[in-house]
Amino acid sequence: MDLIGLIDSIKLPVEIPLLLHPVTVHFAIAIPVIVMLLEIVNLFTKRKCVGVISTLLLLLATGIYFAAVMTGKVDGSEAAALLSPEGKEELKEHKTLGIYLLYGMGALFVLRLIIAAFQGILAKLFFIVVLAIFLGFMFRQGKDGGELVYTYGANVKAVSVMDDKVMELEDELESCKSQQAQSSSSSLVSSSESSTGTEESSEASSEETSSSQQSSTSEEASSSSQSSSALIEKAKEALDQIKGVASSAISSAEALQ
């Protein structure tokens, strides 16, 4: 397991409250600076008690750096949801450097114990140079933390409040869109029903028209059949009259003969 994953895998038995990270960070910055000042003073005073105090402060700083990393994990997980992609990348780098600083502080404590066994000035100067390099990375970490707060709004209450308002407005917009979609769908259903009623009425009217046309056609057919039968009867009557006239003419001609 890598060094970053080792710290991430640590689970504390207690729940860490939010916004404790800024408190621990102030001590994490102040104590190494105090150790640096004590080590510089000890170059001239050469008092053993100063070296002991410096060692104890480094041990305390190691515990504070561990607390800073743990509280930073809690605050960072809370702030990540409200950060932009650039802010999330900055938060990731800030977390990585913080874990490396924790290991560096532990290494400084061990190095101070080793340096205590030597009384030479060169050993003390070497430790001061290493501590100065550590302070450079520490101040860079503090600068990145300030950018997360003041540039990206990490764990800033005003930013979280505005984000909540934006989410509420988005929810209201979605509800308005859904209501508009429902109203449009209902209007489409009513228009389709009215068009269906119109089609049914038009079909009914067409059926009535066709039935009336059929009835008129049947009436015309019946009237034409009646007129043709009347003509046939008249033709029969005329034929009977012609037959009667012809028979009377034949009888009169026979009588003359």
Kindly tell me the sign of the dihedral angle through the C-alpha atoms of 218, 221, 227, 231. negative
Whole-number pLDDT of residue 158? 44
Rounded Cα distance, 143 and 161, in Å = 25
Dihedral sign for Cα 172, 176, 179, 181, please.
Answer: negative
Name the range with the highest mean pLDDT among 1-10, 127-136, 194-203: 127-136
Give the model confidence (pLDDT) of 188-244 as tens digits.
666 655 555 555 555 545 555 555 555 555 555 455 556 556 656 665 676 566 556
Q: Is the pLDDT of residue 23 over 70?
A: yes
Q: What is the pTM of this model?
A: 0.60
Which residues neighbour 91 within 8 Å (Cβ) at sequence distance 6 or greater? Answer: 76, 79, 80, 83, 148, 152, 154
Q: How far apart are CA 227 and CA 119, in angstroms?
A: 149
Domain boundaries, the chain: 3-7+16-156
- What would the two tokens of residue 11 be? 């689970």
Closest CA to 99 of 178, 28, 194, 187: 28
> With contact defined as beta carbons under 8 Å apart, do 97 and 137 qualify?
yes
DSSP string, 124-164: HHHHHHHHHHHHHHHHHHHHHHHHHHHTT-TT-HHHHHHHH
